[in-house]
A and B are shown apart, each in its own frame.
Chain A
Amino acid sequence: MNSAAAWGLASILIGGLGTLAIFSFLWRENRFYRFFEHLFIGIAAGLGPIVIVRDFFWPKVIEPMLGGNITVYPDGTLSEPYQPLYLLYIVPILFGCLYYFIYSRRYAWLAKVVIGFTLGLYATLSIRGFFSEVVPQLQGSFKPLVVMTDGVLDIYQSLNNCAFVVILLLVMNYFFFTLGKREGALQAKVAPLGRPLLMVCFGAFFGSTVMARLALLVERVQFLLRDWLGAVATMVGVG
């Protein structure tokens, strides 16, 4: 067996052990499960910061600051001039360091300044997100109630569109509390209809989620039965 195959085998064996450990939780919480659970958390916690430094901090911040993105040709000329403006990145880096004052009882309020700044930043990003994502959906929701295909009324599509708009309005009405629902008004009369429609929606969601998780479960079981047992057989010399 060459080294590539040996590494592949080791990867499958460890992955299978880990999968069995996680599934052992179905029996009850045990040491085998807790070991791999903590290992998983450790790996995830270690990967996050490194990925941020590798994919964002180094190529987008440090390299431009140090001029690492500029090519020096063999005759000494540069692919582009150095931009000293990139050195201004030091300002947000120092400002971001204020987060760490959270450990100081006296200066903890400085951390609040930077937390406030970040909150403001993401608040306006979500305002932007609303107009670029939700507004087009709102426009797209009001579909034509009468659909003509080649000059002929498409009854099926028209009924579907009518159902879509009616369900949308009924569910929105169910959640409309701003002005209160006057007793006897149409708005109050149709409000209870939103609830069963929401239940249909939640049921469909539930079904989709279960199927997605079951697909993963089937994949895991296949991995254990096919790849992992195969690797175990190879290791003990049966396969």
Chain B
Amino acid sequence: MTQKQADIRTRCVRIATFLGGLYFFLYFVAPQSVVSQFGIDKLDEPISNGLSIVGTMAFGLGLLNIVSAHGMRLAFGRAGWFYSLTLLGGLVSTVVITTSQWMESVSTSRQIRSVQIVGEFAARIKDDAAVSHGGVSQDVQNARIIKQSGDVPLVPTRVAALVRYAESEVATMRNVVAHETHRDLRDAGTTQLIRELDADLSAFTELVRELSAESSRETTMTPGQESLLERVSRDSTKIASTYALIIRADRNHALSQRLYDLLYNGLFNQLGSAMFALLGVYIAAAAYRAFRIRSIESALMMTAALVVMMGQISFGRMLSEELPSMRQWLLEVPNSAAFRAIRLGAGVAGLLLAIRMWLSIESSTNSSEHT
């Protein structure tokens, strides 16, 4: 590689570093009026997501490294291969179980969403009819027109579609209720919800029939139809929330969810807590060595630590009633002030480091020797 090629590569890296930070910097320093004028505030979320994607793509690197390092040890039967097998087994089973739990959860959300659509669609038919009659403000009309795509069918066609869809959803929910009634897993709360849903579905079926009859008589939107659509929207929203509770309770009994709970609550959380708790013992052991009073400073440190620890437990209160308030004062005044000074110093150092990194003037990381 020639020096010229190396220089070009270095320049590319520096330009990329600068461009990477440019958007967030400009968004931060630009006045709000300018940001709104160019419509950047509305695009901020997609742009931020787009920039975050770049960093997110690096996660595969970690996974690849861990798999290759432990895979090699396992494949060649090197020392500790059994632990590599354990690690890879844990990794693969976590990926499989978490993915299947996620898929199950997506499927449940879709089931719930399909019921929610009934209420949304009923409200939409009513609102769109109001738009066409000029019953809403110009702003709302514009928003509706922008939001709609393609040709909007006539009201009777839409109501007929709503009725057909609602009837099919009611049939699906009835199936779920029948299935749930025969399960032995449900608790008292779910049983009550099933009863409520059953009653609501009967009333809702009547309401949909009424709407069907009303729409077959009239070709335009009547006040009676409007009121029925409003009721359909309201009642189906209530039904959807009850239905969501029932099928989420049902999902808790699914194998993927059980395995996920076992993995996450039974292993991951428990092992994480145990690791942190273990550090408590080592900190106490380290304190025994560090807190031997050899100077005024170490005496001060030990006194502060003792006051904070004793002030937090009932034994400390037994020793002195003043210890909790002393602890509070120690934390709020000297500790808080000194910590803030450290934080401010570190903050200024961090700011300078960030500026130097962004402008590629920090050390020789981006120099041609390294690129």
User: A-side interface residues toward B, CB under 8 Å?
Assistant: 2-4, 7, 10-12, 14-16, 18-19, 22-23, 25-26, 34-36, 38-52, 54, 56-57, 60-61, 64, 71, 73-82, 85-86, 88-89, 91-93, 95-97, 99-100, 102, 109, 112-114, 116-128, 130-131, 133-134, 137-138, 141, 160, 163-165, 167-172, 175, 195-211, 213-214, 216-217, 219-220, 223
Contacts and interface: CB of A to CB of B under 8 A. Distances in A.
B344 A138 contact: yes
Contacts of B185: 2-4
Contacts of B89: 39, 42
Nearest to A99: B58
A49 B272 contact: no
Nearest to A114: B54
Interface stretch (B227-235, B240-248, B295-303): B295-303
A4 B83 CA distance: 31
A135 to B, nearest CB: 9
A193 B231 CA distance: 74
B51 A203 contact: no
A195 B296 CA distance: 11
Tell which of A7, A48, A64 has the most Cβ of chain B within 10 Å: A7
A35 B89 CA distance: 11
Nearest to A41: B87
A137 B343 contact: yes
B224 interface: no
A127 B358 contact: yes
B98 A119 contact: no
A40 B268 CA distance: 6
A91 B92 CA distance: 30
Contacts of A172: 341, 344-345
Contact of B271 (A36, A51, A128, A202): A36
A90 to B, nearest CB: 10
Size bracket of the B interface: 35 or more
A144 B90 CA distance: 56
Nearest to B152: A77
A19 B161 contact: no
B304 A207 contact: yes
Given A2-B184, A45-B91, A92-B51, A201 B334 contact: yes
Contact of B279 (A51, A99, A211, A213): A213
B281 A217 contact: yes
B227 to A, nearest CB: 21
Contacts of A170: 341
A202 B287 CA distance: 12
Contact of B354 (A82, A92, A124, A163): A124
Contacts of B264: 47
Interface of B: 9, 12-14, 16-22, 24-25, 28, 46, 49-64, 66, 83-84, 86-95, 98-99, 102, 113, 117, 120-121, 124, 146-150, 152-153, 157-158, 161-162, 164-165, 184-185, 253, 258, 261-281, 283-284, 287, 296-298, 300-309, 312-313, 329-345, 347-348, 350-351, 354-355, 357-358, 360, 366, 370-371
Contacts, number: 419
Contacts of A196: 296-297, 300
A120 B21 contact: yes
A119 B55 CA distance: 9
A22 B271 contact: yes
A39 B57 CA distance: 25
A114 B266 CA distance: 39
A164 B262 contact: no
Contact of B371 (A2, A112, A165): A112
B80 to A, nearest CB: 8
Contacts of B312: 207, 211
A89 B50 CA distance: 6
Nearest to B164: A74
Nearest to A71: B117
Contact of A119 (B17, B88, B258, B297): B17
A171 B337 contact: yes
Nearest to A195: B297
A76 to B, nearest CB: 7
A74 B117 contact: yes
Given A95-B54, A109-B13, A201 B358 contact: no
A15 B270 contact: yes
Contacts of B56: 52, 56-57, 96
Contact of A92 (B50, B147, B345): B50
B63 A201 contact: no
Nearest to A116: B17
A1 to B, nearest CB: 13
30 contacts: A38-B83, A40-B268, A46-B95, A47-B264, A50-B95, A71-B113, A71-B120, A73-B121, A76-B150, A76-B153, A85-B46, A88-B50, A100-B61, A109-B9, A109-B12, A123-B355, A126-B354, A128-B25, A168-B340, A198-B338, A201-B338, A201-B339, A206-B283, A210-B280, A210-B284, A210-B309, A211-B312, A211-B313, A213-B280, A214-B284
Contacts of A76: 150, 153
Contacts of A81: 146-147, 149
Contacts of A44: 268
Instruction: List 3 tightest A-B contacts by C-beta distance, closest first.
Output: A42-B90, A96-B57, A213-B280
